[in-house]
Each structure stands twice: as structure tokens, then as C-alpha cells.
Amino acid sequence: MKRRSLLLGAATLTLSQLAAGCDSKPILKIRSLKNSVPAQVVSKFIRDLKPSPVLQITQEGQLKELFALLQQWKQLPKSENQADLVMLGDYWLTLAIRQKLIRPIDPAKFSNWHKLPERWRNLVTRNDEGLLDATENVWAAPYRWGTTVIAYRTDKFKRLGWTPQDWRDLWREELRDRISLPNNAREVIGLTLKKLGKSYNTQQLDKVPNLKQELANLHRQVKFYSSDAYLQPLILGDTWLAVGSSADLLPLLQTQKDIAAIIPVSGTALWTDVWVEPVSANQMPLTEKWIDFSWQPPIAPQLSLLSKVSSPIIVGMKAEDLPEAVRTNPLLLPDAKIIDRSEFLLPFGNAGIEQYRSLWKEIRQV
């Protein structure tokens, strides 16, 4: 999904200003998704470290552009614009490993590694094919995460006399031709599996009773499919309900009072953005310091508040150690039971991918 917006609040320090005066100072070159690294957090990192380093942060609009840079740097390892650290979405991690675009990282070098919840540590521990394997290497450092949520028009649903609570509500007759869904087979088939009490990561789709019929019924509810252009129709009221990323919706909720969002009570899809080291990058202690800094318990809540995207560290923190604005925001910090019912979209082999692709194509032609 195209996701990711950022509100920097009262910050006036820009990332380009942070790179000023870099003579004789240690330099860390970072490539990140646009607006994913709050300037205040960068500023504190620079102040706290002695000697003060310089962070040169170059931002890209989409995760696929960051993945393309990794491919480019493998072919041109001497490129002057190569970064020491790159942000990727967990979706891209399998491909990056298989194509040998990145190298493993050593968790023993991070004093805060153990503060990451186990499921995030497991997600980045994989074999050379990019498949989960607890006995193999750690390939990435989880940085932030979010969920797939249901957003809806409160004014339209007030007339209906109910509000969405779970995936099953998408099938209600009142929403015929009123909803938008992601243009993504794993997400749409996954939420339908969830409605049926199955896992997002189910692979033998032909053995799931009623799945095809449920998808056909859902397809008739859909006004359009989009992963990156669904907010404006929702704002205008052309759609009444949209399924999208928490990173898109959290900033929107601050300005659009007629829109609300919930995480389905039966659980949802999780995603996470991670830091990876390009295979030909210089190995630098500063890289490890930046990652470990973002995992500090005092920093993680601030990172979450400023970027409107959650740090994985806050999941394991005590409620009393979190700012009220974090612990009372159910999109930023979902209920623990909902998190437990939610799932990362795990990598599939070719056979599993083909099943989803084939079924997706069939349903879209109905």
C-alpha cells in the first residue's frame, strides 16, 4: 500500500539543515520514505552523541523507489549517492534477500534488541531465500509499524444507525457500491479469510469452504479498488467506507471530523518498515547507534507521536510509561487482544503466490 504521512508539529529544523557543517564530523547517509524520520528525533540523536554526527537523509516517495536504489547500488557499488542505511517495507525484504541486495545485521551489537517484541524479531530472522527461519540470520531492524484499518464516514453511518466493528460489516447490503478496497490480492483475500475465521497467511485457498463466493459477494460491494487514491473519494463522500493503512488515516483524522477509523476486532494485517544495510555499504558503528537510538524507551513514544506511525518498542512498554496521547489512541496502540489476533503478511513460495494471483484475477472479472 502507498501509506505514510507525517505531522512534525512545532518543529522548524529541517533535515537539510541537520546536514550543515559536516566537515570532519562522522556522517551517516540514510535513504528513507518521505516524512518517516521526524526532524526532532534526528536533532536529539545529534545532540546526544559525542562527537556530534551528521545525518544526511534523502527521502523517496515510495518504498519501491528505495528497493530500486538497492538494485542500482548492487550494479554500481561505487556510486557516490549510495546510502549506509535504507528503509524498506517488510513486503520487500524477501526480494532484497533473494537478490542479495542487503547483508545480515548482528543483533548482538544492539543493546535494545531485546526490547523488540518477539514477533518483530522473528519477522526479520530469515534464511537465504527470505523465508522465516529462527535459526538463521537477522536481515533488518524493525523501525515502525501499522495496521490495515476500516475508515468510514460518520455522517453517512449515523443515518444507518450502526458503525463498522469488524470485517463482516463490509458485506452488509447498505454498503453496496459504497466502499473502496486496496488493489492488493493478499489484503482483500486476507480480510475475507479473516471473516471466515482463517489466517491471512492461508495458502491452500481451494480448501477454504465458501471463500470464492464470499469474495464474489464482496466484489459487488466495491465501488473501486485503490491502494493510493482512496482518501479523496472518502473525504468527498463518494465512498462511505474505505480499507486502508493506519499511516494514511491517522493524520487525516486530525482534520476530517466526519471520518473515523477502527481496527477490526477479529484482527487485521500488520506491516512494518525496517532499516537494512546495502550489501556494498561501508560498515559503520554510527549505523548501529542510530538504530539502537530509535529503540530507546524514551525515544520510541516520541517517534510514534511525531510520525503518526507506531514504534514496535511501545507494544512491550508499560502503560504508565507511555504518554497519554499514545496509550489512548487505539490506532497508534491497538488493544493487546487485537494485536494478538492480527498478522504480518508472511512471504509465500511460488505456488502460494500463484493461488492468490489466480483467484484475484477470477474474482475481479465477475
Percent of the chain with pLDDT over 70: 93
Q: What pLDDT, on a 0 to 100 scale, did the predictor assign at position 110?
A: 96
Residue written as cell 542500482? 72
Q: How confident is the model at residue 13 (pLDDT cuts 50, 70, 90)?
A: very low
pLDDT tops 50 at residue 241: yes
**DSSP letter (8 states) at residue 282:** P
pLDDT tops 80 at residue 18: no
pLDDT tens across 226-238, in order? 999 999 999 999 9
Residue written as cell 505456488? 351
The full set of domains in the chain, from first to last, is 15-145+271-334 (3.40.190.10), 147-269+346-364 (3.40.190.10)
Q: What pLDDT, on a 0 to 100 scale, did the predictor assign at position 25?
A: 84
pLDDT tens across 81-124, in order? 899 999 999 999 999 999 999 999 999 999 999 999 999 999 99
Alpha-carbon gap, residue 265 to 120, rounded angstroms: 21
pLDDT tops 80 at residue 4: no
To the nearest whole number, what is the mean pLDDT of the chain?
Answer: 92
Alpha-carbon gap, residue 283 to 276, rounded angstroms: 12
Alpha-carbon gap, residue 323 to 266, rounded angstroms: 27
Considering only CA atoms, which of 100, 107, 65, 106 is closest in space to residue 86? 65
75 CA to centre of own chain: 28
pLDDT tops 50 at residue 3: no
- Comparing 15-19, 63-67, 74-78, 182-186, which segment has the lowest mean pLDDT? 15-19
Considering only CA atoms, which of 322, 320, 2 is closest in space to residue 310? 322
Position 222: which residue type?
V
Q: What pLDDT, on a 0 to 100 scale, did the predictor assign at position 50?
A: 86
**DSSP letter (8 states) at residue 219:** H
pLDDT tops 80 at residue 57: yes
Alpha-carbon gap, residue 73 to 83, rounded angstroms: 9
Between strands 269-278 and 141-153, the pairing is antiparallel
pLDDT tens across 253-287, in order? 999 999 999 999 999 999 999 999 999 988 889 99
- With beta carbons less than 8 A apart as the criterion, state whether 208 and 196 touch: yes
Q: What is the arithmetic mean of pLDDT over 321-330?
A: 95
Residue written as cell 490495515? 148
Alpha-carbon gap, residue 225 to 360, rounded angstroms: 12
Question: pTM for the whole thing?
Answer: 0.91
Q: Please, which residues bridge with residue 150 across strands?
A: 243, 262
Question: 7, exposed or middle or buried, with CB in 10 Å at 0-12, 13-18, 19+?
Answer: middle
